[in-house]
Amino acid sequence: MIDLYGISYGIGKWFMGIIAAILDFFGQWIQPFQGLADWLMRWETLNVLAITIQVVIVFLFVSIINLFIIMWIERKMYARLHTRRGIMLPLPFRKVQKGTGFLQNLADGMKLIQKENITPKNADKWMYHIAPAIIATTSILVFVAIPLSETFVVANLEGGLIFVFAILAIAPFAVLVGGWASNNKFTLIGGMRGAAQMLSYEIPLILAAVGVILLAGSLNLVDIVIAQQQTIWFGIPLILGLLVFLVAIVAEVERLPFDIPEAEAELVEGWATEYGGMRFGLIFVAKWVRTYAGAALITILFLGGWSGPILPGEIWFIIKSYIVFIIIVWTTWSLPRTRMDQVLEIGWKRLLPAALISIAIAAALKWVGWF
Amino acid sequence: MKGTEVAQAVKEKFKDLVSNVSFPRDRVVRLYVPRESILPFCKFLRDELSCEHLSLVTAVDWPENFECVYHITSYLEEYMVELHVKIPKDDPKVDSLSPVWKGADFAEWEAYDMMGITFVGHPDLRRILLPEDYLYYPLRKDFKG
Amino acid sequence: MTDIWINMGPQHPMTHGLFNLRVRVDGEIIVDANPLLGYLHRGVEKLCERRDYTQIIPLMDRLCYVSSLTWSHAYCLAAEELMEIEIPERAKYLRVIALELQRIASHLMWLAAFGPDVGMFTAFLYAMREREYILDMLQMMSGARMNQNYPRIGGVRNDVPPEFTDKCLKVMDYFDGKRKQYERLFDDSAIFLMRTQGVGYLSKEDAMDLGVTGQTLRGSNVPIDMRTHDPYEVYDQLDWEVQVEKDGDCYSRYKVRMNEMWESTKIIRGALKKMPKGPVRVKPPKRPKGEAFRRTEDARGEALIYIVGQGETSPYRVKVRSPVFANLRAAPVILKGNTYADLLAIMGSIDVCIGETDK
């Protein structure tokens, strides 16, 4: 079976083969080159190269292609909800100002990169600069463990779900650090709110996934999808868990109606107020990546992952995750913002019991022997 | 309540303190009181004649004296009292109405800021629209900009 | 956590206009609030003393850029009282139509600001979409979309074009049809109710004591509307009701404004039906003497203009009562004890317009 690793290994071997041949050719005159060529073609070297290529492929998928698509979807989608057209500019040098505007995000990104990197005078410089980096890296790191299909996966970890939750849980720390280090009242309040909210929503998030773990009997994300292929989508018996997970993931990625940490009306831009240029861009982009990670997790845990007829698994996965993403966008732009105490109340008083009930349902189903 | 009835009631209580009573409209009464008796007068208006609302405090700079004009509304009886108080130029002081109506202090702030009339008993008299260290009172006629 | 002062403004997304609301918070709870004004002070009252009676009308238009017509109208009404002139019947009806159109436009602008305040950006574009049609109507009447400069002392500047009635009725039909959409967007949203119901309570006694007027007062169960309390133009001949809500919270104030918008369409329909033919303007005298005041119901509350004339071409003193100025006095009282996030909903429900506050 050809998998992502196999493809990467093949690409690496082909590429290294060319280099090794060239080196071999020069090795006729310069002896050490022959040894170098031999080393390049060894399995250990090629293995490292294959893993690197794998990571690069996933990184490209997550942060370039996929990111542009979801940003475009969101911007077009909420523009239509607002009864306007949204981004339309095709290319800067075209005279006619109509089109899909797909490259608008690229232009925005380029603008952000050109901006000066401003550090506030009394900010804690190291902490201030490291916070967006932590958020961006951890957000992309989630996709290491998320399989697009049985074969399209970087690391098929035994405890994949644990890994994903662990990585998602680093962000509140960075939010707090970023908010504190900016040395601004708005960012401080935003950081405090962000940390409190993310911590309190991690619990229903994980508890909602426990039901799935019970039914699948595994923490491995590939195994969870295979278990759904053998029975039914877990979203059908665990509809309550699905809803809890959806709400918790929206809160986890700080989207409306739960974007209290960066409630722009009262806290300007929340904990990200002082960031400018590409640092702000990283935070902004990381939010989208995290939203997509949430949509991908929902797809894997509740909607049968890549299972589907005719089309290849990867395509099915992307279709499903985009639909979930669109649902998240839809709720985002049609609801007002909740208040801090209400958010915590919803988290602890509504979502937590609902998640526990979902676990009980899963346990009962398992006990009856249907799964 | 008609303006004439209001004037009747006020005259019974305050006798000759009230002067120059006129009726610009049916339910509006315009009258003058001396500045010493403004506080008891307004208390009487609020408690006995149900004037719940102080609409406006205006200060006018006449050539010989200042004048404070209070527009006081009764929601219940649907009439309005336009109260004029003459204030001498060399001593621009008048009792604050904030003990009577809580909302009076904002209107008085503005009169102080623009015309320089000191309201005695005001909880926190300071510049509100103009800078704290501004030296002039711009709505006075001798202020030429 | 110790208390901290937070400056909300003059450059802050919360402030709809230039003012600084200093808020003292203990964690998330507001302990104290203090509005600082004066960033937009233009000395309108002083300027009035140097201008002709007619020249003041455009100046009054600029008092509030959201509902400029109500201000120039309030001034004209007071000036007519001073000059003791009666305006033609048709001009009265035209004024009522223009005023109510302006009131709808102003309330829509408020809604467009209130939506993002509670985090619903979609509301902004919805309200702006409807506002376009209302402004089109105002443009048809007066030739301008903002700062119409339409009322004159002694009537209005010009008559409306003949096709105005049909078009205006069409717009009113369209606007009435949109009511359901707004109700579904706001009133059916559980989160919106969570954010506004029971938040920012202002009791009836406090509201009257603090000199609060307009929708804030009517939201606190005091049925006072200057259009019926001290009738001007032809409001007493038209069929409409004063909108009152009982609870005194942000939702009541929101509800009063929303109901008022559709009550205004009723007034406009009635006025269009009853409007007689005839002249729209009489010539005012040049040098009036005496003093006069008139109260009108501005889009935000009770507007009172007091004019003193001394037989000159320009008035001796003009005083403007800004409703928002008095309503801002109530803001610290309402804010105390609420959470920091509620500040948005509360300040949004008061509907602050700094142009008229700072004068």
Question: Residue C302: what residue type?
Answer: E
| Encoded tokens for A208 | 């909602």
Query: Residue B101: its chain C contacts at CB < 8 A?
Result: 209, 211
Are residues A81 and C344, on separate chains, in Cβ contact within 8 Å?
A: no
User: Three-state SS for A148?
Assistant: coil
Query: Residue C3: its chain A contacts at CB < 8 A?
Result: none
**C-alpha span between A291 and A324 (Å, rounded):** 10
Q: Is residue A105 part of a domain?
A: no
Averaged confidence pLDDT in chain C: 86
**C-alpha span between A371 and A113 (Å, rounded):** 51
Q: Which of B1, B55, B105 to mutate to test the interface with C (most CBs of C within 10 A)?
A: B55
Residue C309 has pLDDT above 70, yes or no: yes
pTM reported for the whole predicted model:
0.85
Q: Which of these three, A70, A99, A128, is where a domain ends?
A: A99
User: Are residue A62 and residue A148 in the same domain, yes or no?
Assistant: no
User: Are residue A158 and residue A254 in the same domain, yes or no?
Assistant: yes
**C-alpha span between B39 and B17 (Å, rounded):** 13
User: Are residue A20 and residue A165 in the same domain, yes or no?
Assistant: no
Q: What is the pLDDT of residue C340?
A: 82
* Apex A128 CA angle, A127 and A129, nearest 5: 95
Question: Residue A282: what residue type?
Answer: L
Q: What is the pLDDT of residue B145?
A: 64
Q: Which of C185, C192, C339 sits opposite A341 (nearest CB)?
A: C339
User: Are residue A163 and residue A279 in the same domain, yes or no?
Assistant: yes
- pLDDT tens digits for range C124-178: 888 888 889 989 988 888 888 888 888 888 888 888 888 888 988 999 999 888 8
Question: Residue A214: what residue type?
Answer: L
Print pLDDT tens along chain A (371 aa): 567 778 888 888 888 888 888 888 888 888 788 888 888 778 888 888 888 887 787 777 766 788 888 888 888 888 888 888 888 776 666 666 667 777 788 888 888 889 888 888 888 888 888 888 888 888 888 888 888 877 777 778 888 888 988 888 888 888 888 888 888 888 888 888 888 888 888 888 888 888 888 888 888 888 888 888 888 888 888 888 889 999 888 888 888 788 877 776 677 777 888 888 888 888 888 888 888 888 988 998 888 888 878 878 788 888 888 999 999 988 888 888 888 888 888 888 888 899 899 889 888 888 887 76
**C-alpha span between A257 and A265 (Å, rounded):** 13
**C-alpha span between A71 and A59 (Å, rounded):** 16
| Encoded tokens for C10 | 């003059």
Residue C29 backbone phi and psi in degrees, to 5: -95, 135
Average pLDDT over residues C240-251: 86
Q: Does A264 touch chain C (CB under 8 A)?
A: yes
Return the residue matching tokens 């060239």. A22
- pLDDT tens digits for range C101-116: 999 999 998 888 888 8
Q: Is residue A110 part of a domain?
A: no
Are residues C37 and B114, on separate chains, in Cβ contact within 8 Å?
A: no
Are residues C211 and B103, on separate chains, in Cβ contact within 8 Å?
A: yes
Q: Which of C15, C28, C114 to mutate to test the interface with A (most CBs of A within 10 A)?
A: C28
Are A50 and A64 within 8 A, CB to CB? no
Are residues B128 and C38, on separate chains, in Cβ contact within 8 Å?
A: yes
CB atoms within 10 A of CB A348: 14
Q: Which of these three, A65, A99, A133, is where a domain ends?
A: A99
Q: Does B80 touch chain C (CB under 8 A)?
A: yes
Are residues A338 and C195, on separate chains, in Cβ contact within 8 Å?
A: yes
Q: How far apart are the first and last CA of chain C?
A: 39
Question: Residue C327: what residue type?
Answer: N
Q: Is residue A34 part of a domain?
A: yes
H runs (alpha helix) in C52-162: 56-61, 68-83, 89-117, 121-142
Q: Is residue A169 part of a domain?
A: yes
Which chains does chain C touch, 3 or more C-beta pairs < 8 A?
Answer: A, B
Q: What is the pLDDT of residue C185?
A: 84
For chain A, how many residues are written?
Answer: 371
Average pLDDT over residues C225-252: 86
| Encoded tokens for A45 | 């070297």
Q: Does A79 touch chain C (CB under 8 A)?
A: no
Q: How far is B18 from chain C (nearest CA, A)?
A: 19
**Which residues of chain C have a Cβ shorter than 8 Å from any chain A Cβ?**
4, 6, 8, 12-14, 25, 28, 115-122, 125-126, 129, 185, 189, 191-192, 194-195, 339-344
Return the residue matching tokens 């048809």. C140
Query: Residue C116: its chain A contacts at CB < 8 A?
Result: 265
| Encoded tokens for A58 | 């996933």
The closest of A256, A287, A61, A285 to A171, measured between CA atoms, is: A287
Q: How far is B32 from chain C (nearest CA, A)?
A: 14
The closest of B6, B139, B143, B142 to B60, measured between CA atoms, is: B139
Query: Residue A256: its chain C contacts at CB < 8 A?
Result: 119
Q: Is residue A239 part of a domain?
A: yes
Q: Which of B56, B122, B134 to mutate to test the interface with C (most CBs of C within 10 A)?
A: B56
Residue C44 Cα distances to B75, B102, B126, C357, angstroms: 29, 26, 21, 11
- pLDDT tens digits for range C295-307: 888 888 888 899 9
Q: Which of B68, B69, B73 to mutate to test the interface with C (most CBs of C within 10 A)?
A: B73
User: Are residue A211 and residue A82 in the same domain, yes or no?
Assistant: no
Q: DSSP states of A129-141 as a string? A: HHHHHHHHHHHHH
Q: How many helices (H) and strands (E) does chain B have?
A: 3, 7
Q: Is residue A294 part of a domain?
A: yes
User: Are residue A87 and residue A161 in the same domain, yes or no?
Assistant: no
Return the residue matching tokens 């809604």. C111
Are residues C209 and B61, on separate chains, in Cβ contact within 8 Å?
A: no
Q: Is residue A104 part of a domain?
A: no
Beta strand C4-8 with B118-120 is unpaired
Number of Cβ pairs < 8 A linking chain B and chain C: 82
Q: Which of A197, A337, A344 to mutate to test the interface with C (most CBs of C within 10 A)?
A: A337
User: Are residue A140 and residue A80 in the same domain, yes or no?
Assistant: no
Q: Which of these three, A53, A71, A99, is where a domain ends?
A: A99
CA-nearest residue to C291 within chain B is: B24
Residue C153 backbone phi and psi in degrees, to 5: -70, 110
Q: How far is C351 from chain A (nearest CA, A)?
A: 15
User: Are residue A64 and residue A137 in the same domain, yes or no?
Assistant: no
The closest of C242, C233, C230, C319 to B27, measured between CA atoms, is: C230
User: Are residue A82 and residue A145 in the same domain, yes or no?
Assistant: no
**C-alpha span between A269 and A278 (Å, rounded):** 15
Return the residue matching tokens 């005496």. C290
Residues 6+ apart with CB under 8 A from C173: none
The closest of C223, C124, C135, C126 to C179, measured between CA atoms, is: C126
**C-alpha span between C193 and A165 (Å, rounded):** 33
Q: Does A258 touch chain C (CB under 8 A)?
A: no
Are B57 and B66 within 8 A, CB to CB? no
Residues 6+ apart with CB under 8 A from C78: C292, C293, C294, C305, C306, C307
Return the residue matching tokens 């606190």. C220
Q: Does B101 touch chain C (CB under 8 A)?
A: yes
User: Are residue A66 and residue A157 in the same domain, yes or no?
Assistant: no
Are C38 and A293 within 8 A, CB to CB? no
Are B89 and B64 within 8 A, CB to CB? yes
User: Three-state SS for C19?
Assistant: coil
**C-alpha span between C353 and A287 (Å, rounded):** 35
Beta bridge partners of residue C305, listed in sequence order: C294, C320
Are C253 and C244 within 8 A, CB to CB? no
User: Are residue A197 and residue A310 in the same domain, yes or no?
Assistant: yes
Return the residue matching tokens 């967006």. A132
Residue B93 backbone phi and psi in degrees, to 5: -130, 145
Query: Residue A266: its chain C contacts at CB < 8 A?
Result: 8, 13-14, 340-341, 343-344
CA-nearest residue to C37 within chain B is: B129
Are residues C211 and B131, on separate chains, in Cβ contact within 8 Å?
A: no
Residues 6+ apart with CB under 8 A from A315: none
Domain residue limits at A13: 1-99
Q: How many domains does chain A have?
A: 2
* Apex B95 CA angle, B89 and B97, nearest 5: 130
| Encoded tokens for C14 | 């919360």
Are residues B69 and C316, on separate chains, in Cβ contact within 8 Å?
A: no
Q: Which of C6, C117, C339 sits opposite A339 (nearest CB)?
A: C339
User: Three-state SS for C297?
Assistant: strand
Query: Residue A336: its chain C contacts at CB < 8 A?
Result: 115, 118-120, 189, 191-192, 195
**C-alpha span between B95 and B118 (Å, rounded):** 8
H runs (alpha helix) in A41-123: 43-59, 67-81, 104-114
Q: Which of C81, C302, C358 sits opposite B129 (nearest CB)?
A: C358
Q: Which of B71, B103, B138 sits opposite C43 (nearest CB)?
A: B138
Residue B126 Cα distances to A200, B58, B123, C8, angstroms: 47, 17, 10, 21
Which portions of chain B are predicted below pLDDT 50?
Answer: none
Residues 6+ apart with CB under 8 A from A143: A58, A59, A61, A62, A154, A293, A296
Q: Which of C230, C294, C307 to mutate to test the interface with B (most CBs of B within 10 A)?
A: C230
Which chains does chain B touch, 3 or more C-beta pairs < 8 A?
Answer: C
Beta bridge partners of residue B83, listed in sequence order: B31, B70
Are B98 and B43 within 8 A, CB to CB? no
Q: Is residue A90 part of a domain?
A: yes
User: Are residue A213 and residue A70 in the same domain, yes or no?
Assistant: no
Return the residue matching tokens 């009447």. C141
Residue C36 has pLDDT above 80, yes or no: yes
DSSP state, residue C224: -
Query: Residue C210: its chain B contacts at CB < 8 A?
Result: 102-103
The closest of C138, C65, C43 to C97, measured between CA atoms, is: C138
